[in-house]
Amino acid sequence: MIVATTATVQELIRLAPGRTDKGVNDGIYAADLLCPGIAKLVRPGQFVTVAASQTSVLRRPFTVYSTDGQTIRLVFRTVGPNTERYARWKEGVEVSLLGPCGQAMAIKPDAECLIFLGGGCGLASFGYPVAWAKKQTQARIIVAAGFRDNRYVFGLEDFRKLGVELKFATQQEAGKTAVDLCREIFRDESLPDWSKIQLFTCGPKPMMAEVAGICRAAGIDCSVFLEEVMGCALGVCKGCVVKMTSGETRYVCEDGPIFDASEVDWNG
Amino acid sequence: MVDLTVGLAGIRMDNPVVPASGTWGIESQKILLEAGRFRPGALVTKSVTIEPRPGNPPPRLRETASGLINWIGLAGPGIDRFLADELSVWLSFGQPVIVSIAGKTPQEYVHLAQCLGDTRISGIELNISCPNVGGTIIGTDPQLTAEIVRATRLATGLPLIVKLTPNVTDIAAIAKAAEREGANAIVAVNTFTAMRINPNTGQVIISGGLSGPAIMPQALRKVWEVCRAVKIPVIGMGGIASASDALEFLWAGASAVAVGTANFGNPLVMAEIIEGIAGWLEQNGFGSLEEFRQKKAECR
């Protein structure tokens, strides 16, 4: 079930400072929104959409970062006028929310190692999935995050608290990308057989395409969290299309946001 | 509350607000029901084609200032699967259902209309104005418009509502052609052709149809032209996002309004528009929408 509801902002936290040359509000934020209706329903990997300004006709989708059954946390980076407006939310502000949308994630029953590979703000998609997976499975869980810029590093403490293995690097300091981290992890000899690994990735599309290629070559199960401009988020408007290698079409909002990377036509 | 009932093309609606084809689905309807708000006067489906259509490659949507360019390309399951899987759900809501159909030739419209003949739907929308399926838009040609309406008219007794494109010099002439050949109502307007180009590379980002508040004043003008040209009722649409927008279309002569892109921004917007129209009528001393229409006719 998907509901349209009004949520109340409980708290807004600036997780990463961003770049001062990009404006005073630049950065990465966490917004805690009181919305029991959605918080009770949401499953890991699902997203909500937030109403935008009058000159933006489309709502903005965000994966739910965490939930306590009453509130949900959204983590977002300021990328335009709408996210900049969200970055100025004050406690008590009412926000129009629609959700939970999309399909929840699933863990392969025989997976012995789960790897979550985030590129930049893509890491924000993994908050709830990792917390859920930790409770759900005995499998080894590795969270890896590659950031381009030190000023956008966020979330590491949250994952550390969950008690999972954490690897991260910034391109600025370590000269390593998320893809480099992925290769590094795969060199770890204590990993189980490739067929017992399940990898989830979220980040810029070229990064995900590269990771998908590496996994395909190694025979590793790879799931990607995709993003597309979304009209209705309900499977109605057929706007957020994803082309599959089979020639079929899928939609991020109703079939996704998580897709089997080997089925996605990365040139489509 | 004020009586908002509208009789349009033989379809009795509780209120004059309907969704634009392709912007409202079963999931949106469920959200509205869950919220316990006013329901649209009728339900309008996404345009159904004979064969299943995958639609166009990405990107299919791009936002512009107060607008949205879409290049969907009539993605859908085709008439057989629509009849088997979807229609019964649409009908289960207990509201009038208008099925939108789109074809390439008069014969295709006839076939689709015949397929819908034995169903409990309340009317058929002839979408002759999709800008995203290649070639010229059918509805820019008065003669082809006339042929399609004439042929479909002979094939079905269901009310026919013809959806016009604004991408013409003289929309009144097309509306008259549709009326002459037996259309029961007009819905106007579909999207305005539009595009965006990457300013750095010169590459076309998207080329499709523009909708949303950006087109509202242009759409209003086209609807006003249509309303002056025909006697059959007109469903006015194009960028309507509020009750005050809807009232402008009603003043222009529309019997009802359709809401499209605004449903994406707010899935409860049609309920708000219905409430807003009722509130305005009440404040201005009208007991019913019909009374407003009569008063308006006298003013002319």
Q: A137-186, pLDDT tens digit by residue?
A: 999 999 999 999 999 999 999 999 999 999 999 988 889 999 999 999 99
Question: What is the rounded average pLDDT of the residues B17-41?
Answer: 95
From chain A, pick out residues whose CB is under 8 angstroms from the CB of B85: none
Domain encompassing residue B170: 6-56+73-191+212-295
B198 inside domain: no
Q: Name the residue with higher pLDDT: A24 or B93.
A: B93
% of chain A at pLDDT higher than 90: 94
% of chain A at pLDDT higher than 70: 100
pLDDT at A38 over 80: yes
- Give pLDDT tens digits for A183-218: 999 999 999 999 999 999 999 999 999 999 999 999
Cα distances (angstroms) measured from residue A20 to each of A28, A169, B1: 13, 22, 54
Please indicate if any CB of chain B lies within 8 Å of the CB of A204. no
Residues 6+ positions from A149 with CB-CB distance below 8 Å: A19, A170, A171, A172
Please indicate whether, in this complex, the C-beta atoms of A243 and B57 are within 8 angstroms of each other: yes
Closest CB to A228 among B58, B211, B268 = B58
Question: Could you report the predicted ipTM of this complex, rounded to two decimals?
Answer: 0.93
Closest CB to B60 among A96, A232, A239 = A239
**How is residue B55 written in tokens?**
């639609």
User: How many interchain CB pairs under 8 A, A with B?
Assistant: 113
Question: What is the rounded average pLDDT of the residues B17-25?
Answer: 97
B63 inside domain: no
How much is the pLDDT for B133? 80
B203 inside domain: no
Please indicate whether, in this complex, the C-beta atoms of B60 and A230 are within 8 angstroms of each other: no
How much is the pLDDT for B296? 83
DSSP A190: T
CA distance B264 to chain A (A): 5
Does the active-site annotation cover B115?
no
- Return the CATH number at B272: 3.20.20.70
Question: What is the rounded average pLDDT of the residues B102-115?
Answer: 96
For residue B96, give the 3-state DSSP assignment: coil
Chain B residue nearest residue A60, CA to CA: B265
pLDDT at B298 over 80: no
Closest CB to A57 among B57, B67, B72 = B67
pLDDT at A19 over 70: yes
B67 inside domain: no
B205 inside domain: no
From chain B, pick out residues whose CB is under 8 angstroms from the CB of A232: 23, 25, 28, 263-264, 267
Report the alpha-carbon distance of residue B114 to residue B80 in Å, rounded: 12
pLDDT at B159 over 80: yes
Question: What is the rounded average pLDDT of the residues B169-197?
Answer: 97
B197 inside domain: no
How much is the pLDDT for B131? 82
B199 inside domain: no
Question: What is the rounded average pLDDT of the residues B171-189?
Answer: 97
How much is the pLDDT for B300? 60
How much is the pLDDT for A213? 96
The pLDDT confidence band at residue A268, using thresholds 50, 70 and 90, is: confident
- Give pLDDT tens digits for A221-231: 999 999 999 99
pLDDT at B245 over 90: yes
Report the alpha-carbon distance of residue B21 to residue B99 in Å, rounded: 9
Please indicate if any CB of chain B lies within 8 Å of the CB of A242. yes
Report the alpha-carbon distance of residue A36 to residue A7 in Å, rounded: 9
- Give pLDDT tens digits for A85-114: 999 999 999 999 999 999 999 999 999 999
Report the alpha-carbon distance of residue B247 to residue B190 in Å, rounded: 19
pLDDT at A126 over 80: yes
B45 inside domain: yes
Q: How many domains does chain B have?
A: 1
The least confident of A63-67, A219-223, A254-258, B35-39 is: B35-39
Edge-to-edge strand list for the sheet holding A258-260:
A165-170, A140-147, A113-119, A197-202, A221-225, A258-260
